[in-house]
A = this chain, B = another copy of it.
Amino acid sequence: MADLEVSKIIDEICELSKNDAGEITRFPFSESWMKAQTYLKELFEKLGFDTYFDCAGNLHGRIGTQSDTIMTGSHADTVRNGGKYDGLYGVVAAALAVSKLYRKYGAPKKGLEVIAFSEEEGTRFPFNFWGSKTLIGDVEWDKVKCLTDKEGIRMVEALENQGFSYSNGCAKRDDIKAFVEIHIEQGGVLEAKNMEIGVVTGIVGYKKFNIEIFGEANHAGTTPMGFRKDAGFCAGVIISELIKRAREYGDPLVTTIGQIEFSPNLANVVPAYAQFSLDMRHTDGDILNRFQEEALEIVKKITSAEKVTYNFTTVFDDKPVYMDKDIMDIITKACENQGVKYMAIHSGAGHDSQILARIAPVGMIFVPSKNGVSHNPAEFTEPELLEKGVSILEEALHKLAY
Protein backbone atom coordinates (compact mmCIF):
# COMPACT_ATOMS: atom_id res chain seq x y z
CA MET A 1 0.00 0.00 0.00
CA ALA A 2 1.35 3.43 -0.99
CA ASP A 3 1.74 6.05 1.72
CA LEU A 4 -1.59 7.74 2.44
CA GLU A 5 -1.66 11.52 2.76
CA VAL A 6 -3.27 12.81 5.92
CA SER A 7 -4.66 15.99 4.32
CA LYS A 8 -6.30 14.05 1.48
CA ILE A 9 -8.02 11.64 3.84
CA ILE A 10 -9.29 14.58 5.94
CA ASP A 11 -10.59 16.26 2.78
CA GLU A 12 -12.43 13.09 1.75
CA ILE A 13 -14.08 12.66 5.14
CA CYS A 14 -15.14 16.33 5.29
CA GLU A 15 -16.50 16.15 1.75
CA LEU A 16 -18.66 13.09 2.38
CA SER A 17 -19.86 14.23 5.82
CA LYS A 18 -20.70 17.87 5.08
CA ASN A 19 -24.31 18.92 5.61
CA ASP A 20 -26.85 20.18 3.07
CA ALA A 21 -25.51 23.72 3.46
CA GLY A 22 -22.04 22.45 2.55
CA GLU A 23 -20.85 23.05 6.12
CA ILE A 24 -18.76 20.86 8.40
CA THR A 25 -21.21 20.32 11.24
CA ARG A 26 -20.67 16.83 12.62
CA PHE A 27 -22.80 16.92 15.72
CA PRO A 28 -22.46 13.67 17.69
CA PHE A 29 -24.77 10.85 16.60
CA SER A 30 -26.01 12.80 13.56
CA GLU A 31 -25.98 11.37 10.05
CA SER A 32 -22.94 13.48 9.11
CA TRP A 33 -21.07 12.23 12.14
CA MET A 34 -22.00 8.60 11.41
CA LYS A 35 -20.72 8.93 7.85
CA ALA A 36 -17.35 10.12 9.17
CA GLN A 37 -17.12 7.39 11.82
CA THR A 38 -18.05 4.72 9.27
CA TYR A 39 -15.41 5.98 6.83
CA LEU A 40 -12.83 5.88 9.63
CA LYS A 41 -13.82 2.31 10.53
CA GLU A 42 -13.30 1.24 6.93
CA LEU A 43 -9.96 3.06 6.85
CA PHE A 44 -8.85 1.32 10.07
CA GLU A 45 -9.81 -2.06 8.57
CA LYS A 46 -7.91 -1.31 5.36
CA LEU A 47 -4.85 -0.54 7.49
CA GLY A 48 -5.14 -3.94 9.14
CA PHE A 49 -6.47 -2.86 12.55
CA ASP A 50 -9.00 -4.85 14.59
CA THR A 51 -11.91 -2.43 14.82
CA TYR A 52 -15.06 -1.99 16.84
CA PHE A 53 -17.51 0.64 18.01
CA ASP A 54 -18.02 0.65 21.75
CA CYS A 55 -21.41 1.29 23.38
CA ALA A 56 -20.72 5.06 23.60
CA GLY A 57 -20.07 5.51 19.89
CA ASN A 58 -16.26 5.61 20.20
CA LEU A 59 -14.48 3.91 17.31
CA HIS A 60 -11.45 1.72 18.16
CA GLY A 61 -8.76 0.35 15.84
CA ARG A 62 -6.13 -1.87 17.41
CA ILE A 63 -2.93 -3.78 16.74
CA GLY A 64 -0.85 -5.83 19.18
CA THR A 65 -1.71 -7.57 22.44
CA GLN A 66 -4.98 -7.08 24.34
CA SER A 67 -3.38 -5.72 27.53
CA ASP A 68 -1.28 -2.66 28.39
CA THR A 69 -2.67 -0.34 25.76
CA ILE A 70 -0.86 2.68 24.36
CA MET A 71 -3.72 4.75 23.00
CA THR A 72 -3.69 7.59 20.49
CA GLY A 73 -6.38 9.56 18.71
CA SER A 74 -8.82 12.42 19.12
CA HIS A 75 -12.46 13.17 18.35
CA ALA A 76 -14.58 13.07 15.18
CA ASP A 77 -17.36 15.52 16.12
CA THR A 78 -17.19 19.24 15.33
CA VAL A 79 -18.79 22.54 16.32
CA ARG A 80 -21.45 24.03 14.03
CA ASN A 81 -19.87 25.14 10.75
CA GLY A 82 -16.45 24.17 12.04
CA GLY A 83 -13.12 23.46 10.41
CA LYS A 84 -11.59 20.37 8.86
CA TYR A 85 -8.78 19.71 11.30
CA ASP A 86 -10.01 20.15 14.88
CA GLY A 87 -10.22 16.60 16.25
CA LEU A 88 -10.31 14.75 12.96
CA TYR A 89 -6.61 15.43 12.27
CA GLY A 90 -5.75 13.68 15.53
CA VAL A 91 -7.69 10.57 14.50
CA VAL A 92 -6.36 10.34 10.95
CA ALA A 93 -2.78 11.18 11.98
CA ALA A 94 -2.94 8.50 14.68
CA ALA A 95 -4.22 5.91 12.20
CA LEU A 96 -1.45 6.70 9.71
CA ALA A 97 1.27 6.75 12.36
CA VAL A 98 0.18 3.37 13.75
CA SER A 99 -0.14 1.95 10.24
CA LYS A 100 3.44 2.99 9.41
CA LEU A 101 4.73 1.39 12.59
CA TYR A 102 2.78 -1.78 11.83
CA ARG A 103 4.21 -2.03 8.35
CA LYS A 104 7.79 -1.26 9.49
CA TYR A 105 7.94 -3.21 12.73
CA GLY A 106 4.92 -5.55 12.79
CA ALA A 107 2.83 -5.99 15.93
CA PRO A 108 4.05 -4.03 18.98
CA LYS A 109 4.93 -5.56 22.35
CA LYS A 110 2.02 -3.65 23.87
CA GLY A 111 -1.44 -3.03 22.51
CA LEU A 112 -1.47 0.03 20.25
CA GLU A 113 -4.89 1.49 19.70
CA VAL A 114 -6.30 4.36 17.67
CA ILE A 115 -9.49 5.95 18.94
CA ALA A 116 -12.02 8.29 17.34
CA PHE A 117 -13.88 9.69 20.34
CA SER A 118 -17.55 10.10 19.56
CA GLU A 119 -18.07 13.46 21.26
CA GLU A 120 -15.79 16.15 22.64
CA GLU A 121 -17.14 19.60 21.76
CA GLY A 122 -20.29 19.71 23.88
CA THR A 123 -22.04 21.61 21.09
CA ARG A 124 -25.12 19.44 20.63
CA PHE A 125 -25.73 18.32 24.21
CA PRO A 126 -24.67 20.41 27.20
CA PHE A 127 -22.03 17.83 28.13
CA ASN A 128 -18.59 17.67 26.62
CA PHE A 129 -15.86 15.02 26.60
CA TRP A 130 -18.56 12.35 26.41
CA GLY A 131 -16.27 10.03 24.46
CA SER A 132 -13.23 10.18 26.74
CA LYS A 133 -15.33 10.31 29.90
CA THR A 134 -17.10 7.07 28.99
CA LEU A 135 -13.68 5.50 28.50
CA ILE A 136 -12.55 6.34 32.03
CA GLY A 137 -16.01 5.54 33.44
CA ASP A 138 -16.77 9.10 34.60
CA VAL A 139 -20.34 9.70 33.43
CA GLU A 140 -23.38 10.16 35.66
CA TRP A 141 -25.48 8.38 33.07
CA ASP A 142 -28.77 8.72 34.95
CA LYS A 143 -28.44 12.49 34.64
CA VAL A 144 -26.72 12.69 31.28
CA LYS A 145 -29.15 10.46 29.40
CA CYS A 146 -31.93 13.02 29.91
CA LEU A 147 -30.00 15.92 28.39
CA THR A 148 -31.62 17.16 25.20
CA ASP A 149 -30.38 18.97 22.13
CA LYS A 150 -32.12 22.06 20.73
CA GLU A 151 -34.63 19.87 18.87
CA GLY A 152 -35.59 18.22 22.15
CA ILE A 153 -33.91 14.89 21.28
CA ARG A 154 -32.55 13.23 24.40
CA MET A 155 -28.96 11.98 24.45
CA VAL A 156 -30.20 8.42 25.03
CA GLU A 157 -32.40 8.61 21.93
CA ALA A 158 -29.63 10.12 19.80
CA LEU A 159 -27.34 7.22 20.77
CA GLU A 160 -30.02 4.62 20.12
CA ASN A 161 -30.83 6.17 16.74
CA GLN A 162 -27.28 5.26 15.66
CA GLY A 163 -27.49 1.81 17.21
CA PHE A 164 -25.59 2.48 20.45
CA SER A 165 -27.05 1.08 23.64
CA TYR A 166 -25.18 2.76 26.47
CA SER A 167 -25.37 1.58 30.06
CA ASN A 168 -23.35 2.78 33.01
CA GLY A 169 -19.66 1.91 32.62
CA CYS A 170 -20.05 -0.20 29.46
CA ALA A 171 -17.24 1.62 27.63
CA LYS A 172 -14.84 1.81 30.60
CA ARG A 173 -11.27 0.64 30.04
CA ASP A 174 -8.68 -0.33 32.66
CA ASP A 175 -5.79 -1.24 30.37
CA ILE A 176 -4.68 2.20 29.17
CA LYS A 177 -1.02 2.80 30.08
CA ALA A 178 -0.49 6.01 28.11
CA PHE A 179 -2.38 8.34 25.81
CA VAL A 180 -0.89 10.57 23.14
CA GLU A 181 -3.01 13.05 21.19
CA ILE A 182 -2.00 15.16 18.23
CA HIS A 183 -4.09 18.25 17.52
CA ILE A 184 -4.00 21.58 15.75
CA GLU A 185 -2.93 24.41 18.07
CA GLN A 186 -6.12 26.47 17.49
CA GLY A 187 -4.11 29.57 18.38
CA GLY A 188 -1.45 31.63 16.65
CA VAL A 189 1.62 31.11 18.82
CA LEU A 190 3.48 28.43 16.81
CA GLU A 191 2.93 30.33 13.57
CA ALA A 192 4.04 33.63 15.14
CA LYS A 193 7.22 31.96 16.47
CA ASN A 194 7.81 30.13 13.18
CA MET A 195 7.65 26.71 14.86
CA GLU A 196 6.59 23.41 13.29
CA ILE A 197 5.63 21.45 16.39
CA GLY A 198 4.41 22.36 19.88
CA VAL A 199 5.30 20.04 22.75
CA VAL A 200 2.33 20.59 25.02
CA THR A 201 3.16 21.19 28.68
CA GLY A 202 -0.39 21.25 30.02
CA ILE A 203 -3.98 22.26 29.48
CA VAL A 204 -5.44 25.35 31.13
CA GLY A 205 -7.92 25.14 33.97
CA TYR A 206 -11.29 25.88 32.41
CA LYS A 207 -14.42 27.07 34.19
CA LYS A 208 -17.76 27.70 32.62
CA PHE A 209 -20.61 29.53 34.34
CA ASN A 210 -24.18 30.41 33.46
CA ILE A 211 -25.31 33.81 34.72
CA GLU A 212 -28.96 34.80 34.88
CA ILE A 213 -30.38 38.21 35.82
CA PHE A 214 -34.01 38.54 36.85
CA GLY A 215 -35.46 42.03 36.39
CA GLU A 216 -38.90 43.22 35.37
CA ALA A 217 -40.49 43.63 31.93
CA ASN A 218 -41.78 47.16 31.39
CA HIS A 219 -42.93 49.37 28.57
CA ALA A 220 -39.93 51.11 27.00
CA GLY A 221 -41.86 54.35 26.54
CA THR A 222 -43.92 54.76 29.66
CA THR A 223 -41.56 53.55 32.39
CA PRO A 224 -39.23 56.30 33.67
CA MET A 225 -35.59 55.20 34.02
CA GLY A 226 -35.81 55.31 37.81
CA PHE A 227 -38.69 52.81 37.88
CA ARG A 228 -36.96 50.08 35.88
CA LYS A 229 -35.39 46.78 36.79
CA ASP A 230 -33.49 46.38 33.55
CA ALA A 231 -31.91 42.92 33.34
CA GLY A 232 -30.32 43.77 29.98
CA PHE A 233 -28.55 46.84 31.33
CA CYS A 234 -27.17 44.74 34.21
CA ALA A 235 -25.89 42.19 31.70
CA GLY A 236 -24.19 44.99 29.74
CA VAL A 237 -22.46 46.41 32.82
CA ILE A 238 -21.37 42.96 34.02
CA ILE A 239 -19.96 42.01 30.60
CA SER A 240 -18.14 45.32 30.43
CA GLU A 241 -16.63 45.03 33.92
CA LEU A 242 -15.75 41.32 33.66
CA ILE A 243 -13.76 41.72 30.45
CA LYS A 244 -12.03 44.89 31.66
CA ARG A 245 -11.00 43.10 34.86
CA ALA A 246 -9.80 40.06 32.89
CA ARG A 247 -7.60 42.32 30.79
CA GLU A 248 -6.07 43.73 33.97
CA TYR A 249 -5.11 40.20 35.05
CA GLY A 250 -3.18 39.79 31.79
CA ASP A 251 -2.07 36.61 29.96
CA PRO A 252 -2.62 33.72 30.17
CA LEU A 253 -6.07 34.48 31.63
CA VAL A 254 -8.75 34.46 28.95
CA THR A 255 -12.40 35.27 29.60
CA THR A 256 -15.26 35.15 27.14
CA ILE A 257 -18.94 36.01 27.20
CA GLY A 258 -19.87 34.30 23.96
CA GLN A 259 -23.57 33.55 24.36
CA ILE A 260 -26.38 35.84 25.48
CA GLU A 261 -30.15 35.88 25.59
CA PHE A 262 -32.65 38.56 26.62
CA SER A 263 -36.31 37.97 27.32
CA PRO A 264 -38.76 39.00 25.94
CA ASN A 265 -36.04 40.33 23.57
CA LEU A 266 -38.22 43.03 22.04
CA ALA A 267 -36.92 46.49 21.20
CA ASN A 268 -39.79 48.22 23.00
CA VAL A 269 -39.81 46.21 26.23
CA VAL A 270 -37.34 46.63 29.11
CA PRO A 271 -35.69 43.17 29.43
CA ALA A 272 -37.17 41.14 32.28
CA TYR A 273 -34.44 38.55 32.01
CA ALA A 274 -30.92 38.23 30.74
CA GLN A 275 -28.82 35.10 30.57
CA PHE A 276 -25.23 34.79 29.41
CA SER A 277 -22.30 32.40 29.49
CA LEU A 278 -19.00 33.08 31.22
CA ASP A 279 -15.93 31.13 30.10
CA MET A 280 -12.62 31.62 31.96
CA ARG A 281 -9.30 29.77 31.58
CA HIS A 282 -5.83 29.97 33.11
CA THR A 283 -2.87 27.63 33.52
CA ASP A 284 -2.80 28.39 37.27
CA GLY A 285 -5.78 26.97 39.17
CA ASP A 286 -5.35 29.38 42.12
CA ILE A 287 -5.44 32.48 39.93
CA LEU A 288 -8.50 31.08 38.16
CA ASN A 289 -10.25 30.55 41.50
CA ARG A 290 -9.47 34.12 42.49
CA PHE A 291 -10.87 35.48 39.24
CA GLN A 292 -14.02 33.41 39.73
CA GLU A 293 -14.52 35.04 43.13
CA GLU A 294 -14.04 38.50 41.63
CA ALA A 295 -16.53 37.71 38.87
CA LEU A 296 -19.12 36.71 41.44
CA GLU A 297 -18.42 39.92 43.39
CA ILE A 298 -18.98 41.98 40.24
CA VAL A 299 -22.33 40.24 39.61
CA LYS A 300 -23.37 40.72 43.25
CA LYS A 301 -22.39 44.40 43.29
CA ILE A 302 -24.23 45.32 40.10
CA THR A 303 -27.39 43.30 40.72
CA SER A 304 -27.61 44.66 44.26
CA ALA A 305 -27.24 48.27 43.04
CA GLU A 306 -29.94 47.67 40.40
CA LYS A 307 -32.27 45.84 42.80
CA VAL A 308 -32.51 42.76 40.61
CA THR A 309 -31.70 39.15 41.48
CA TYR A 310 -29.26 36.70 39.88
CA ASN A 311 -28.19 33.09 39.51
CA PHE A 312 -24.50 32.31 39.14
CA THR A 313 -24.25 28.63 38.24
CA THR A 314 -21.15 26.55 37.62
CA VAL A 315 -21.56 24.53 34.42
CA PHE A 316 -18.16 22.87 34.82
CA ASP A 317 -14.88 23.47 36.58
CA ASP A 318 -11.98 21.63 34.95
CA LYS A 319 -8.70 21.96 36.84
CA PRO A 320 -5.45 22.59 34.95
CA VAL A 321 -3.88 19.38 33.66
CA TYR A 322 -0.14 18.76 33.25
CA MET A 323 1.34 16.53 30.57
CA ASP A 324 3.54 13.61 31.58
CA LYS A 325 7.22 14.66 31.74
CA ASP A 326 8.49 11.38 30.26
CA ILE A 327 6.14 11.57 27.27
CA MET A 328 7.07 15.26 26.80
CA ASP A 329 10.73 14.17 26.72
CA ILE A 330 9.96 11.46 24.14
CA ILE A 331 8.16 13.99 21.91
CA THR A 332 10.96 16.54 22.33
CA LYS A 333 13.57 13.92 21.46
CA ALA A 334 11.61 12.94 18.33
CA CYS A 335 11.58 16.59 17.22
CA GLU A 336 15.35 16.82 17.73
CA ASN A 337 16.00 13.52 15.93
CA GLN A 338 13.94 14.67 12.96
CA GLY A 339 15.30 18.22 12.87
CA VAL A 340 11.89 19.74 13.40
CA LYS A 341 11.52 23.26 14.87
CA TYR A 342 9.63 22.85 18.15
CA MET A 343 8.73 24.74 21.31
CA ALA A 344 7.00 24.03 24.62
CA ILE A 345 3.46 25.44 24.68
CA HIS A 346 0.37 25.25 26.87
CA SER A 347 -3.06 24.51 25.51
CA GLY A 348 -5.75 27.15 25.97
CA ALA A 349 -8.40 24.76 24.70
CA GLY A 350 -9.71 21.63 26.38
CA HIS A 351 -8.84 18.24 24.90
CA ASP A 352 -9.69 14.59 25.48
CA SER A 353 -6.15 14.26 26.88
CA GLN A 354 -7.20 16.09 30.03
CA ILE A 355 -9.79 13.40 30.74
CA LEU A 356 -7.40 10.52 30.01
CA ALA A 357 -4.85 12.23 32.30
CA ARG A 358 -7.00 11.13 35.24
CA ILE A 359 -6.11 7.48 34.62
CA ALA A 360 -2.83 7.48 32.69
CA PRO A 361 0.19 9.56 31.70
CA VAL A 362 -0.65 11.68 28.65
CA GLY A 363 1.20 13.66 26.05
CA MET A 364 0.08 16.09 23.37
CA ILE A 365 1.61 17.30 20.13
CA PHE A 366 0.46 20.52 18.41
CA VAL A 367 0.82 21.51 14.78
CA PRO A 368 0.43 25.19 13.82
CA SER A 369 -2.92 26.74 12.92
CA LYS A 370 -2.83 29.22 10.05
CA ASN A 371 -3.67 32.68 11.48
CA GLY A 372 -4.59 30.94 14.73
CA VAL A 373 -8.10 30.30 13.37
CA SER A 374 -10.19 27.38 14.63
CA HIS A 375 -13.86 26.43 15.02
CA ASN A 376 -14.30 28.05 11.64
CA PRO A 377 -14.25 26.92 7.98
CA ALA A 378 -11.00 28.91 7.56
CA GLU A 379 -9.13 26.47 9.84
CA PHE A 380 -5.98 25.42 7.97
CA THR A 381 -2.61 23.75 8.47
CA GLU A 382 -0.12 23.17 5.64
CA PRO A 383 -0.15 19.50 4.47
CA GLU A 384 3.63 19.26 5.08
CA LEU A 385 3.18 20.33 8.68
CA LEU A 386 0.37 17.78 9.09
CA GLU A 387 2.78 15.10 7.82
CA LYS A 388 5.54 16.27 10.18
CA GLY A 389 3.08 15.83 13.02
CA VAL A 390 2.34 12.25 11.93
CA SER A 391 6.05 11.55 11.83
CA ILE A 392 6.68 12.89 15.35
CA LEU A 393 3.67 10.97 16.67
CA GLU A 394 4.96 7.81 14.95
CA GLU A 395 8.35 8.09 16.67
CA ALA A 396 6.77 8.79 20.06
CA LEU A 397 4.42 5.80 19.75
CA HIS A 398 7.36 3.61 18.70
CA LYS A 399 9.16 4.54 21.90
CA LEU A 400 6.07 3.86 24.01
CA ALA A 401 4.70 0.65 22.46
CA TYR A 402 7.62 -1.28 20.95
Contacts and interface: CB of A to CB of B under 8 A. Distances in A.
Interface of A: 79-81, 123, 185-188, 204, 206, 208, 217-227, 230, 232-233, 235-240, 243, 246-247, 250-260, 262, 264-271, 277, 279, 281, 347-350, 372-376
Contact of A187 (B222, B238, B262): B222
Contact of A259 (B219, B233, B267): B267
Nearest to A230: B243
B266 A219 contact: no
A70 B342 CA distance: 85
Given A277-B267, A372-B218, A259 B262 contact: yes
Contact of A376 (B79, B217, B243, B254): B217
Given A79-B266, A262-B258, A267-B277, A219 B348 contact: yes
Contacts of A224: 187, 251-252, 254
A267 B219 contact: no
Contacts of A232: 239, 257-258, 260
Nearest to A217: B376
Contacts of A223: 187-188, 254, 348, 372
B219 A374 contact: yes
A211 to B, nearest CB: 11
A123 B225 contact: no
B186 A227 contact: no
Contacts of A217: 375-376
Given A252-B224, A374-B219, A269 B258 contact: yes
Contacts of A227: 188, 372
A201 to B, nearest CB: 14
Contacts of A230: 243, 256
Nearest to A271: B258
A122 to B, nearest CB: 8
Given A221-B279, A233-B240, A233-B257, 17 more contacts: A79-B266, A208-B267, A218-B373, A219-B348, A225-B250, A232-B258, A232-B260, A235-B236, A236-B240, A236-B257, A256-B267, A258-B262, A258-B264, A258-B267, A260-B260, A268-B279, A268-B375
A390 to B, nearest CB: 22
Nearest to A374: B219
Contacts of A247: 225-226
A373 B222 CA distance: 9
A375 B281 CA distance: 41
12 contacts: A79-B266, A187-B223, A217-B376, A220-B258, A221-B281, A223-B348, A226-B247, A233-B243, A233-B257, A235-B239, A236-B239, A258-B268
A29 B27 CA distance: 38
Contact of A185 (B222, B237, B254, B258): B222
A187 B269 CA distance: 13
